[in-house]
A and B are shown apart, each in its own frame.
Chain A
Amino acid sequence: MPLLEVKNLRTVFDTDVGRVHAVDGVSFSIEKGRTLGMVGESGCGKSVTAASIMRLVPNPPGRIIGGEILWKGRNILDIPSKEMPELRGKEISMIFQDPMTSLNPVFTVRKQMEEVVSRRKGLKGKAADQTIIDMLQTVGIADPSRRVDNYPHELSGGMKQRVMIAMALLAEPDLLIADEPTTALDVTVQAQILHLMKDLQKRLGTAILLITHNMGVVAETCDDVVVMYAGRAIESAPIDELFAANRHPYTRGLLQSIPIPGSNKRDALATIEGVVPSLITPPKGCRFADRCFARQARCTTDDPTLTTIGTGHQVACHFPLEVAR
């Protein structure tokens, strides 16, 4: 049984201009100790998927209208709201692109971390203090015994991110959901943060759901990948297979549009023409059809479903591409 299994998840937002189908039938699963990368461009539904798993979709305007989120076999959507903080604090932790989403500006780092230590480990006073300072040290904060008494605004962006990660790690969760955790950071700090997350995984067997738009980060940290487009999962595969033997035209276009080391301006980059469709009135048929170079008549009428085409490899396309040699 996978640790987390998301089946046909549907999350909508009711807005003045209509109902936005932000996540419209997404399925994937994560095993213990593995890292699943979730990639896609702005508005594809990555973050809403994460928020849905945590039951953090603001209602109104948002609502989960269908599907199941099985956590160790139990449907998260059936858990009473008052039990959710317990699940969020102990079993699933989340880190965000903007650390101020999870840090409270009016409390010191110590105060905020004490709460996690006491709830998760039952530690108080000196013992709690030591645990906090050790963890700040682990995440690479220089001079932790002084920094612990700082307020969030006194820390740099990288330091705030580290504090948030330290809090997530103190909880020793079974699943860490990281939503663009390094997007706002410099590359050298990004490398440090990713290193930390992988280190935690090695020590505790934590599963990681890493949401990012950066294919480089995916290639370097993930075991499996699910590619999202317009509210759907359109391809998922083990990392090597996804890069070397992808079959969905969108996945291929996305990978080919990134300048890879050694490329230069004498070779034009591949592009995907057009724009993503409206999620208020999604097109009939395949959502990628109007931008797809391999489109055929059927693509504009029939909606493709995610189908298994190899070991751990699924694709939602009527005419999957040949594997490039």
Chain B
Amino acid sequence: MSAPLLEVQDLYKSYPVRGGLFSAKQGEVKAVAGVSLTLKKGETLGLVGESGCGKSTLGRTLMRLEAANSGRVLFEGADVLTADKHQLFALRRKIQMIFQDPYSSLNPRLTVGSIVREPLEVHKIGSREEQNARVRELFVAVGLKPEMIDRYPHEFSGGQRQRVGIARALALNPSLIVADEPVSALDVSVQAQVLNLLVELQKKLGLTYLFISHDLGVVEYLSDRIAIMYLGQIVEEGDRETLFREPKHPYTRALLDAMPIADPRRRRDRAPLQGEAPSPLNPPSGCTFHPRCPYATAACKTTIPVLEPVAGSTPDHRAACLRKNEI
């Protein structure tokens, strides 16, 4: 088996909460609280969770767009978090990001051609002519007409802008793409076009995706493996089939249960999970899910569960639940 492309080890990222006189530090929000995960070359890992669970912060921290508090992020064996300026510059060629909002992630004053060319200029790759040729090639690759190169972002629809964002991310031939909710601002028919494009590009270019989303339907469609996040921690991970067929963590089950299915014959009468996710400023003791968990016992209030293999399941199926092997 090949070495992983990306390995995240025990990553922590917290933000101070300030207030009062002189903005004194009053506490901290643990947005990412000890996350470990690996990505093999060419696979897609779906990272799922509800708002505020820390999934976007995790994506940004492992790209070092945010400074981590502790932990390691190894990309092809090199530590991203301790890399010096030059090493980081080189690493940034190989890890690129696609953002959620195709309206605010493109500079409105630049033509879309200049937006896609920018990474090539920053990294001083090729002559002007070579760069122009590369931009045209990228436009074709993402399904945009090369004659649109001199237009501005406002002339494009949401789906087309997202294609521009993808072309920019591909400009430097990256091996890893962190996609943070890339289709959630799009209408469903356009969403399908962008998802198809991502799959096609992966097949053609051998890309590895970390796909961050709150939409389980989209994640199931795209991912090889899936990790579920709750309050800054990964509570369950496994391959796609296993996770959907035999979810072990009660939170994963609740999420799957709550996901509306576009098929009236599969309508269920279910009791929804109660309450909302607690504030990460003051997470519950023990298992952070215990106040909402229908299976919680006294032990769950005091013991912090560890992400461990699920007995009798596939080897990479892990869950952080004290009762994972009995429920």
Contacts and interface: CB of A to CB of B under 8 A. Distances in A.
Do chains A and B stick together as partners?
A: yes
Interface of A: 41-42, 140, 142, 156-159, 186-192, 195, 213-220, 239-240, 243-244, 253-255, 257-265, 268-272, 275
Interface of B: 44, 50-51, 157, 187-193, 195-196, 199, 214, 216-218, 220-222, 240, 244, 254-255, 257-268, 270, 272-277
6 contacts: A41-B188, A191-B270, A243-B262, A259-B192, A261-B259, A265-B222
A213 B215 CA distance: 14
Contacts of B263: 219, 243, 260
A69 B232 CA distance: 50
Contacts of A42: 187
Given A191-B258, A216-B260, A268-B199, A261 B217 contact: yes
A216 B262 contact: yes
Given A41-B187, A214-B260, A240-B264, A259 B221 contact: yes
Contact of B259 (A187, A218, A258, A269): A187
A254 B189 contact: yes
Contacts of A265: 44, 195, 199, 221-222
Q: Closest 9 interchain pairs by CB?
A: A216-B260, A259-B221, A257-B192, A186-B50, A41-B187, A191-B272, A191-B258, A269-B192, A215-B262
B305 to A, nearest CB: 20
B262 A156 contact: no
Contacts of B264: 219-220, 239-240, 243
Nearest to B191: A257
A252 to B, nearest CB: 11
Contact of B221 (A140, A195, A218, A269): A269
Contacts of B216: 187
Nearest to B50: A186
Contacts of B254: 188
Contacts of A157: 51
B258 A275 contact: no
B30 to A, nearest CB: 18
Contacts of B191: 257
Given A187-B255, A187-B258, A217-B260, A257 B189 contact: yes
A268 B220 contact: no
Contacts of B266: 219
Contacts of A187: 50, 214, 216, 255, 258-260
